[in-house]
Amino acid sequence: MVELEHLALIWIGVFIAVYFARKTRLTPVLFYLAVGAVYVNTGLLPHESDDFIRGFAEIGIILIMFALGFEENTSAFIKSVKRSWGIAFFGAVAPFAAAFIVIQYFWQDLNIALISGLAMTATAVSLTMVSLKSEGLQKSAAATGIMTSAVLDDIASLALVAIMVPIAAGDATPSFAAIALIVGKAALFFGLIAVLGAWVLPHELTGKLIHKMKFLQGWGVRNLFTFDDGRHAVLAALTLALLIGLAAHAFGFHPAVGAYMAGLILKEDFFHIIPDQSQAAYDNVHEIVENVAFSWIGPVFFVELGTNIVFNPELLVSVMPQTATLVMALFTAQVLSAAIAARYTGAFPWPDSVMIGFGMLGRAELCFVVLDIAFVQERIITEDVFYTLMLTAFWLNVAVPVTIALWKPYYSGEKTLGFLAPPRSAPSP
């Protein structure tokens, strides 16, 4: 029963967060994180979440990412990869370097600096995408650029985790075989996703070779979505998301990456039941998935994430100079590197470029995984470094919805700055 009491508290907190979000016109994500921090520091929630809440939160982030991918245009995502390589590269190198330099300056330990730089590298794309959604910008060019860049960053960060953690812990030395294995697994996973989207799911395949293979025609995923007159289409969609999420986990990625890809490869025509009803079937599934993801399961992830912020007054005061320095360094390095890369390697307009810079500020999933390995499992970093990185991640997460909300008028063309491009029409939500 204790687990259910915790869930009831979290859901009450979600209502409170949404109320204050409406009053302040900020995204609820900021208040979900605040609710989690308040709960854990007042003793309403334990410092270590129970397995039930952790599992619920894990399902939440999978649903959020699936819902976001479900709204995305597949061709736009693939096209964006070509524009986003520079954002992913420079938007990862700059914060890594900034964190490495700051931590090395204060603690004078190479291993601690390396791990700290790694923890501060990967972008919390889920936080950014939910923040963009609250502003009606989830389908914008900037959102697609952020998503593709963050996915590329996650792949690179996972490779670096496999390489650098054993080095920092003194357990291993880097090898070409280990690096090649990580790169090969990434290429294989995304290759399988491409095959699934192009050759397995479509109901009616095109092409001269496929056209001759009559036995392959009519076996697409539409049969699953239209089973029992489409009454179980939501179950089919969520099962697909979970299976691909599990596949991603098997390849060494976060399941949320797989869930996003599952949503990305689903198309409206997969839901065709009878003529003129495919749109209604698609809209019904979309509405239910969105409600589950953004109203009652997804928010649990962010509240649980906020419970990682446990304040020790003495340590909090002692690390304030380090935290302030690191936050300013990372904020500057991340926004400038991502924005400049978006403008000059991705050819994004300046309003989009700056929005991408702000959208890359968040630090969450992979950051906390690295911190757990480095502090709890391997004891590579000390407690004061751990607090510094945790507080830095918290303030960077706070900065995401705030900066996105503040920049929205400039992004949509309602306001202008002298160095930006001329005003333009707002992107369609």
For residues 93-104, give the mean pLDDT: 96
Q: What is the pLDDT of residue 341?
A: 93
118 CB burial (10 A radius; 0-12, 13-18, 19+): buried
pLDDT of 321 higher than 70: yes
**Using the 8-state DSSP alphabet, how is residue 12 labeled?**
H
| The pLDDT of residue 164 | 73
Range 250-279 average pLDDT: 73
Handedness of CA 39, 300, 252, 131 (dihedral sign): negative
* Residue 426: predicted pLDDT: 45
The mean pLDDT of 186-207, rounded to a whole number, is 73
Token pair 């309003």 in the structure block, residue: 351
Res 329: pLDDT: 97
What are the pLDDT digits (tens) for 106-133? 999 988 999 999 989 878 777 787 788 8
Average pLDDT, the chain: 81
Number of other CB atoms surrounding residue 84 within 10 Å = 28
pTM of the model: 0.71
173 pLDDT higher than 50:
yes
212-221, 306-315, 380-389: which is most confident: 380-389
C-alpha to C-alpha distance for 317 and 323, rounded to whole angstroms: 10
CATH architecture of the domain formed by 2-198+290-412 = Up-down Bundle (1.20)
Span of 31-45, 155-169, 345-359 with lowest mean pLDDT: 155-169
Structure confidence at residue 334 as a pLDDT band (50, 70, 90): very high
**CB under 8 Å to 35, separation ≥6 — which residues?**
10, 13, 14, 16, 17, 303, 306
**pLDDT-derived band at 178, boundaries 50, 70, 90:** low
Q: Tens of pLDDT along 10-63?
A: 999 999 999 988 887 666 877 898 899 899 999 999 988 888 998 888 898 889
What value does the mean pLDDT take over residues 255-277? Answer: 73
d(CA 49, CA 36): 11
Angle at 139 between CA 421 and CA 183, to 5 degrees: 100
Q: What is the mean pLDDT of residues 278-292?
A: 81
Q: How far apart are CA 323 and CA 388, in angstroms?
A: 5
**Residue 429 pLDDT:** 44
Average pLDDT over residues 343-356: 91
Q: What is the pLDDT of residue 11?
A: 95
